[in-house]
Structure 1
Amino acid sequence: MTTRTQRLDELPFTGKHRRLLAGSGVGWALDAMDVGLISFVMAALAVQWELSPTQLSWIGSIGFVGMAIGASVGGLLADRIGRRQVFAITLLVYGLATGAAALSVSVAMLIALRFVVGLGLGAELPVASTLVSEFAPRKIRGRVVVALEAFWAVGWLLAALIGYFVVPLNDDGWRWALAVGIVPAAYALVVRFGLPESVRFLESKGRHAEAEAIVRDYERSAGTAPANESQAVESPGSVEPVAPAEPAQRVSIWAPHLRARTAALWIVWFGINLSYYGAFIWLPSLLVAQGFDLVTSFGYTLIITLAQLPGYGAAAWLIEVWGRRVTLAAFLTGSAIAAALFGLAETPATIIAAGMALSFFNLGAWGALYAIGPELYPTAVRGSGTGAAAAFGRLASILAPLLVPLLLDSGGSGLVFGVFAAAFVVAAVAAFTLPERAGTVLE
């Protein structure tokens, strides 16, 4: 007999899927907006508070310390108390902390609050991608998850707009920018009461009646609900027309059949985090250091950010045509070339062109990475597996902002982006070793 997860896998993409994607995507965009805003705040505070490169590095890095912890803990909690619950909690945590950060009166206070913000941000991303991947129809699952990741570009674009129009207004512009970050706290209610819990998670916990009700809700949206649906949903003790899944058995992500993919996934996460956050968190500040004024550097950053959207679009199409592994490796290779060119760029035209290429390929790679991660693990450890990989990657995002000033002193922008290009190459090689899971059923 057909299982619930098989019924979900074979459904067409319906209005229920769109609402789940949009609901999760808004949370994703708010996450990106928060991460992106700090790069503009750093550039403003460097002038206003006369901060040293070391102080700026810690403001940029401390959030990623929290994200590393949050990603690991969030993934574990998602496998125990549910994807939706953790998703809502993370929005509440980082929304309130970001709002409080707007009231910072010292570097120490800002650093402490950015750590708390990071806890929420780090936990949200792997949990949201896991939730969406577990509902997406099998034939377009990768494309749907890349579409979710594309909301990151929307959020980063919002951050760039706020950075361009709000931060330079006056000395309190950066405070108003951070105050906008309290929006996720309110949106947590939408997630908690408006999005469904994962059917696979519910079945793994033996909550079959709840799982059946959600599946039938999606079937009604597609016009394929069985005729006796009301009896099955209202009477959990009755005979169901489908075979319930067996409770999932927990395994280690380092079990013999999983360890190779786990190691490769961790390498990809480390390389892409090191290069992405090293480049984009420092981008406005690097442009200011090259002699551009604050408004001009923010304007260039805004233009460069726009290229993220077509990058996601290309990845969303290619991931079902080329497959996960080839798409991810190709975009990582493109990112390496773009990073090397950016390090050599000197004129405004070449800076913008190389920066847009880096945005295009880098964010396309992010989309493919989030699509492939949840597919590598069985239900019982899917949240833990994706969360652990994200947590390891966050170690690189902690290191990256601290590494940039040292590399600048040693060899300038050429060395900085040369290191980032090398990291992308290593990540691309690791991506080629991952198993191809396009079109397969989630374990």
Structure 2
Amino acid sequence: MSTTPATIVPIEDTSLTGFYKDMTVPEKRTFWACATGWALDGMDFMIYPLVIGTIIQLWNVDPGTAGLAGTVTLLASALGGWGAGYLADRIGRVRTLQLTIIWFSFFSLLCAFAQNFDQLLICRALLGLGFGGEWAAGAVLMGETIRAQYRGRAVGSVQSGWAVGWGLAVLAQAALFSYLPPEQAWRWMFAIGALPALLVLYLRAYVKEPEVAAQTRAKVAAKGESPSILEIFQGPILKVTVLASLVSMGCQGGYYAITFWVPRFLTTERKLSIVSSTGYLAALIVGSFAGYLVGAWYADRFGRRNLFLVFSLGAIAVVAAYTQLPLSNEVLWVLGFPLGFFASGYFSGMGAFLTELYPTRLRGSGQGFCYNFGRGMGALFPFLVGYLSQTTTLANAICIFAVIAYVVFFAAAYALPETRGKVLHADA
């Protein structure tokens, strides 16, 4: 492991868009490739929460079992993310990213042909392997390509692509469910999820491996060694891995508890139709997009750790108001913006933060494991919310598990150091 001391670069231009004006051509190509990939990844994942009500009705599935498909997808993504992170340390970030995109696109297409819930469950689980792997490879690729002084804003801005993908999924839902019967519309939703495969053509032509990663792999190969997949659980790295995994679990558990079930909450407890709920989801998505951009700026201006602490407290306050106060639908629509803002904005700091916590030779494994362990544990929250909603209101179930998740998020983030401005080095 490298003993090179961390180098911290001061950030001169702290404006939100300042990083993009000074980016090199390779940095811009990587930025747009990863932003597009993450948007399409978000579209793929959010399709299922949007059609879950249709699945429940068509196949007579209870809410707890329906939530299980979301849980299984995220559990599989935890394994896929760790495996893809390790693979990225062995064969490269770009090659791993290409493989994962093709994988989850293929299984999204297969979901469209499922004939029963068991088949859909299997397809979603297999999709999850690639879904988790795409983030692991893409986040490391971005973190190593972008210079230290711009890393938080660049990686965070890429994260905003998730809101764009979510928005695309909602638009597809509104269009397809307006012109097709539900038993056909949901299948076309999954078929659209195969589109990310086209991104691989761009990756092959324009995106190159980060120099720091290539140099590190060359050093490791020269020594005749290869990093162990278990090395992130040894020595001083173990504490980092445990705390970073809890941060990831808290932030994702809260997010999934909210976003997975809010569409269902609007159509059942608020008595809105699928089409009329689109405006409420739009407010949530616009708030989410704004949160990603502000969070990206905040991460470079005030630090990754401060971002997590402030936004976790904000998320607790807003989700409690959204689910527990006797609000009119008009007020609820307005409150969707701050809910999306606080429940999403902290993700802008996650990629850069995890990149900066690990040495280069273990970065893929460490970042892939921690983020996707969080996905795996966060995967329990859609299932638990669905299960608890059978004995209380869905609003109460969402609030209870979101608050638990954000308390864990706050506590673990508080225990970790700030990493803003850290320069990455080749090591072996």
Calculate the TM-score normalised by the size of structure 2. 0.88
- How many pairs are equivalent? 403
Q: Which stretch of the first structure deviates more once superposed, 385-394 or 83-92?
A: 385-394
Contact 2:76–2:376 (CA under 8 A) maintained in structure 1: no
Task: Name the structure 2 match of 1:373.
Answer: 354
Task: Name the structure 1 match of 2:63.
Answer: 53
Aligned positions of 1:110-129 closer than 5 A = 110-129=120-139
Counterparts of 1:91 and 1:49 in 2: how far apart (Å)?
A: 29
Structure 1 residue 398, shift from structure 2 partner: 2.3
Deviation string 1:113-150 (CA, Å, 9 cap, x unpaired) is 11111111011102101101101111111111101111
Letter matched to residue 122 of structure 1: G
Structure 1 residue 249, shift from structure 2 partner: 7.8
Task: Name the structure 2 match of 1:310.
Answer: 290
Structure 1 residue 154, shift from structure 2 partner: 1.0
> Identity percentage over the alignment?
29
Structure 1 residue 246, shift from structure 2 partner: 9.4
Letter matched to residue 385 of structure 2: V
Tell me if 1:431 matches 2:410.
no
Task: Name the structure 1 match of 2:26.
Answer: 16
Gaps of 5+ in 1: 209-244
Contact 2:303–2:420 (CA under 8 A) maintained in structure 1: yes
Gaps of 5+ in 2: 12-18
- SS of 2:203's equivalent in the other structure is helix
Structure 1 residue 296, shift from structure 2 partner: 2.0
Of 384, 389, 392, the residue aligned with 1:411 is 392
Structure 1 residue 192, shift from structure 2 partner: 2.8
Counterparts of 1:438 and 1:16 in 2: how far apart (Å)?
A: 22
Tell me if 1:201 matches 2:213.
yes
Aligned positions of 1:21-100 closer than 5 A = 21-100=31-110
Task: Name the structure 2 match of 1:160.
Answer: 170
Q: Relative to structure 1, is the Cα distance of residues 249 and 109 closer, same or farther in structure 2, using a 3 angstrom cutoff?
A: closer
Task: Name the structure 2 match of 1:392.
Answer: 373
Letter matched to residue 338 of structure 1: V
Contact 1:68–1:391 (CA under 8 A) maintained in structure 2: yes
Counterparts of 1:322 and 1:408 in 2: how far apart (Å)?
A: 39
Contact 1:44–1:168 (CA under 8 A) maintained in structure 2: no
Contact 2:43–2:166 (CA under 8 A) maintained in structure 1: yes
Tell me if 1:266 matches 2:245.
yes
Structure 1 residue 248, shift from structure 2 partner: 9.3
Structure 1 residue 189, shift from structure 2 partner: 2.5
Task: Name the structure 2 match of 1:192.
Answer: 204
Tell me if 1:340 matches 2:320.
yes
Contact 1:65–1:395 (CA under 8 A) maintained in structure 2: yes
Tell me if 1:286 matches 2:295.
no
Counterparts of 1:34 and 1:89 in 2: how far apart (Å)?
A: 16
Structure 1 residue 406, shift from structure 2 partner: 2.5
Counterparts of 2:336 and 2:406 in 1: how far apart (Å)?
A: 15
Give RMSD over aligned pairs. Answer: 2.6
Larger RCO, structures 1/2 (Cα 8 Å, 6+ apart): 2
Counterparts of 2:408 and 2:218 in 1: how far apart (Å)?
A: 42
Task: Name the structure 2 match of 1:212.
Answer: none
Structure 1 residue 320, shift from structure 2 partner: 1.4
Structure 1 residue 378, shift from structure 2 partner: 0.3
